Chain A
Amino acid sequence: MSTGTRARKQIHLAAHFPGVNNTTVWSDPAAGSHIEFSSFAHLARTAERAKFDFLFLAEGLRLREQNGLVYDLDVVGRPDTFTVLAALAAVTDRLGLAGTINSTFNEPYEVARQFATLDHLSAGRAAWNVVTSWDEFTGENFRRGGFLAQDQRYVRAREFLAATATLFDSWSGDEIVADQASGVFLRDPDAGRFAVHSTQFDISGRFAVPRSPQGRPVIFQAGDSEEGREFAAAGADAIFTRHGTLEAGKAFYADVKGRLARHGRTPDSLKILPAATFVLGDTDADAQEKADVIRHQQVSGQTAIKFLEQLWNRDLSSYDPDGPLPAEDPFVGDSHIARGRASVRMHRDPLATARQWRELAEAKNLSIRELIIQVTGRQSFIGTPSAVAAALDEFVQAQASDGFILVPHITPGGLDEFADTVVPLLQERGVFRTEYEGTTLREHLDLPPLPTPRRG
């Protein structure tokens, strides 16, 4: 049992399986497979041992390219999200299992069937991070192709989510009687009946999966635009953000939580969970030194040039990463040198960003590589375990987040030290569970129970 009362706000923690970007250091001698199931099982078991809320998998449906070639400097390749999560349900008991699934290159019926199945097979631990895309580049792998106009992607995402909600609610949970004596299996001959007619979908029939333990998966949303925030405030259970700094985090937190009342929701019904990296050391100086080494591993000279190309949208392979920034301006046009990468869309005004980067580089006398190390850094908690525990706690108590999705930089052992050293300190502070209290992910996240759907 946890001791004391829950006077302090509780922290929610999740483990992000290291992704296909340069945060993941694959060249480290400790780095293992990104594909073998043993790596996923290792991280999941560590997260469950540490009583984390959930494990998180990202997804991308086409290998990234730059300059017309598969991008080969970062980890490449990953397994199928649903299949890995279903297998992880066999080697864990309580840990939530969150998967990123695209609403553009899937169909609501199939995705609802998969999430409802995962929720059954994990006894109520499934979560869905809903992402959208529109690009023809990814569409080339699918029947659908790349027809979706960019301004349609939230329309489709909203309608997709609404369609799956209809499907999840097409069973209320008490239809299966299975009375062997009387021969009545179903109470209701219409169980699972649904119909969705919207601008994107025209589907009807009976849903094949009876109501799952959580009713539906916990819904995550990752967008940061005005539309993304509204989308999340309207229906998500949690937001996966990249607002790392305390000030930006507080502003985002206040903004999004402030939108909930308009949707008839309470502040605790939407959890805000930024991604964060961490580096631990015996002393703060030791940790800083390690963090500096890691940043240089993450941003090699080649990687720095590739990052710069993503903003400049030009071939910069002739530049010296240890030299100054290009004098020429970014190329602004419709086609882009890098494809299949979310960060490309973040450079909304490349000329202005390039100006800022140049000013920064000149002011601090930074080479290309040093600049990229500085401007691409994510929120990172660096220090001794007790300093990191204090910083995480402060962040949450200051209403900058409800917890964190931690992104280790080493697969699969990158969370082990955190689990062994930081988690016990958070537990001592009384801000993190010492045992799972519930069995479902909704319970771990302290989300209000869902109403039972009424049929008819």
Chain B
Amino acid sequence: MPSHDPALHLALALDGTGWHPASWREPGARPTELLSAAYWTELVQEAERGLLDLVTLEDAMALQSAHPSRPDDRTDQVRGRLDSVLVAARVAPLTRHIGLVPTVQVTHTEPFHASKAIATLDYVSTGRAGVRVRVSARPDEAALFGRRDAVAIDRTRPDDAGLTQLFAEAADYVEVMRRLWDSWEDDAEIRDAATGRFVDRAKLHYIDFVGERFSVRGPSITPRPPQGQPLVTALAHQTVPYRLVAGSTDLGFVTPQDPGRTAAILAEVRAEQAAAGRGAEPLPVLGDVVVFLDEDAAAAATRKARLDELAGAELHSDALVFAGTPAQLADLVQEWHAAGLAGVRLRPGGNAHDLPLITRALVPELQRRGAFRTAYAESTLRERFGLARPANRYAAV
């Protein structure tokens, strides 16, 4: 097992007005501004004030739905959203340190386009780009593209064939993005006036990927990005997705529902990592938690209950739902960190209420305990996670 990166990492997951479906009804939620650049810029700037590692931006092709696999016709929740890659790009010039990790759906889109988009995000953010890859099994998303039927999956079967197929294709997609990022060597652009050559074509590489679902020739149209390989991330809840995290990503997000599960989940990810031949590589994993914060624990619980009441149902989440004080959350974060997670990805129940408490109460509390950075030190997102700038797979040694 690789040596453990001692630093604690805090990521922020942004989705609409927050992760509670009734969060748009809270004071200060700004639900009519969700389509504006200012809304997203201000949230990410606040996260950067709190020295957070990165923000992830939730995204999907289909309109939001309360149902996990079908559209709905509800009118009482946030509907409508922007392409997260472009939101990240829009925010990039107005921030300086924080990592920007939009979501790319890999089942219906083109790896060639995604690769150059994330490479370009890395350029416009000067080395702060990442990408969260996610698969789509939803028939309504397949119908938006009309190119193939949805893959039928049964999430209750850990070795389900459909699930395996979807994630195998996701691994191919990541492989193509990665090869394309390397398809230009760092010094391919030579501008050699003497010979009239702008590039050294020996340093441009066809990637010649041939997979079951697609083939891609390359090279990319975009030169190798500043980080070499922007940070690839994925959220995983079970074995097949753990395999994707272990085999293809630089950073994983997992969802331990109780502290006791953390070690077991990590053990499974590490086993898959070894099976993928990556046992010696650092692969930080963050635990996801939905947070409702208040200076008083009872007030936090009351606020969550009020939101549940507005929503007409108790919040159900794939991740642990926490309601308490920033100090209590700091305890949980440290407990998870001690159990081997590199940190947490915080999903604010309501951005307007919880984000300032993350940046102005949780972070100072962790800093008081000597557990979190007091300034940004690294210049790229990879460096922040202790990941080296990788050698180019095509470069002659």
Chain A interface residues (CB < 8 Å from chain B): 26-27, 35-37, 41, 60-63, 69-70, 72-80, 82-84, 86-87, 89-91, 105-107, 109-110, 113-114, 117-118, 120-123, 140-143, 145, 171, 176, 178, 180, 183-192, 201-210, 212, 300, 302-303
- Distance in angstroms from A419 CB to nearest chain B CB is 21
Contacts of B87 in A (CB 8 A): 86, 117, 121
**B119 engages A79 (CB within 8 Å):** yes
**A185 engages B24 (CB within 8 Å):** yes
A-B contact pairs, 16 of them (CB 8 A): A27-B193, A61-B112, A74-B198, A77-B223, A84-B124, A89-B37, A107-B145, A140-B217, A143-B213, A180-B25, A185-B79, A189-B74, A204-B146, A206-B140, A209-B80, A209-B83
**B143 engages A186 (CB within 8 Å):** no
| Contact of B367 with A by CB under 8 A | no
| Contact of B244 with A by CB under 8 A | no
Residue of B nearest to A303 (CB): B196
Binds A, one of B6-14, B89-97, B376-384: B89-97
Chain B interface residues (CB < 8 Å from chain A): 22, 24-26, 29, 31-32, 35-37, 41, 60-64, 71, 73-83, 85-87, 89-94, 108-110, 112-113, 116-117, 119-121, 123-124, 126, 140-141, 143-147, 184, 189, 191, 193, 196-201, 204, 213-219, 221-223, 310
Other A-B pairs beyond A61-B221, A209-B80, 5, CB < 8 Å: A77-B222, A82-B89, A87-B124, A120-B35, A209-B81
Contacts of A63 in B (CB 8 A): 204, 219, 221
Contacts of A118 in B (CB 8 A): 86
User: How many residue pairs at the A-B interface have CB separations less than 8 Å?
Assistant: 226
**A77 engages B93 (CB within 8 Å):** no
Cα distance A190–B79 in the bound complex, in angstroms: 11
> Which of these, A76, A204, A210, contacts B80 with CB under 8 Å?
A210
- Distance in angstroms from B270 CB to nearest chain A CB is 34
Contacts of A188 in B (CB 8 A): 75
Given contacts A176-B80, A300-B196, contact A121 B71 (CB under 8 A): no
Cα distance A80–B61 in the bound complex, in angstroms: 20
- Distance in angstroms from A135 CB to nearest chain B CB is 12
**A184 engages B75 (CB within 8 Å):** yes
Given contacts A79-B119, A176-B80, A203-B145, contact A87 B93 (CB under 8 A): yes
Given contacts A63-B204, A82-B86, A208-B81, contact A183 B76 (CB under 8 A): yes
> Which of these, B31, B126, B141, B197, contacts A73 with CB under 8 Å?
B197
Cα distance A72–B22 in the bound complex, in angstroms: 56
**B120 engages A83 (CB within 8 Å):** yes
Residue of A nearest to B193 (CB): A27
Residue of B nearest to A105 (CB): B110
- Distance in angstroms from A78 CB to nearest chain B CB is 6
- Distance in angstroms from B258 CB to nearest chain A CB is 33
The 8 closest A-B pairs by CB, nearest first: A140-B217, A86-B89, A83-B120, A178-B31, A189-B73, A80-B120, A79-B120, A87-B124
Residue of B nearest to A213 (CB): B35
Given contacts A26-B191, A91-B93, A203-B145, contact A35 B117 (CB under 8 A): no
**B89 engages A83 (CB within 8 Å):** yes
**B221 engages A78 (CB within 8 Å):** yes
Contacts of B146 in A (CB 8 A): 107, 201-204
- Distance in angstroms from A319 CB to nearest chain B CB is 16
**A90 engages B93 (CB within 8 Å):** yes
**B80 engages A114 (CB within 8 Å):** no
Q: Which of A35, A70, A83, A178 has the most CB of B within 10 A?
A: A83
Contacts of A208 in B (CB 8 A): 60-64, 80-81
Cα distance A20–B29 in the bound complex, in angstroms: 45
- Distance in angstroms from B356 CB to nearest chain A CB is 19
**A186 engages B79 (CB within 8 Å):** yes
**B83 engages A114 (CB within 8 Å):** yes
> Which of these, B75, B119, B124, contacts A185 with CB under 8 Å?
B75
- Distance in angstroms from A453 CB to nearest chain B CB is 16
Contacts of B22 in A (CB 8 A): 183
Cα distance A27–B87 in the bound complex, in angstroms: 35
Q: Which of B29, B79, B189 has the most CB of A within 10 A?
A: B79
Contacts of B61 in A (CB 8 A): 109-110, 113, 208
> Which of these, B31, B82, B143, B223, contacts A205 with CB under 8 Å?
B143
Cα distance A70–B219 in the bound complex, in angstroms: 10
Contacts of A35 in B (CB 8 A): 123, 222-223
**B77 engages A121 (CB within 8 Å):** no
- Distance in angstroms from B65 CB to nearest chain A CB is 9
Residue of B nearest to A302 (CB): B196
Residue of A nearest to B82 (CB): A117
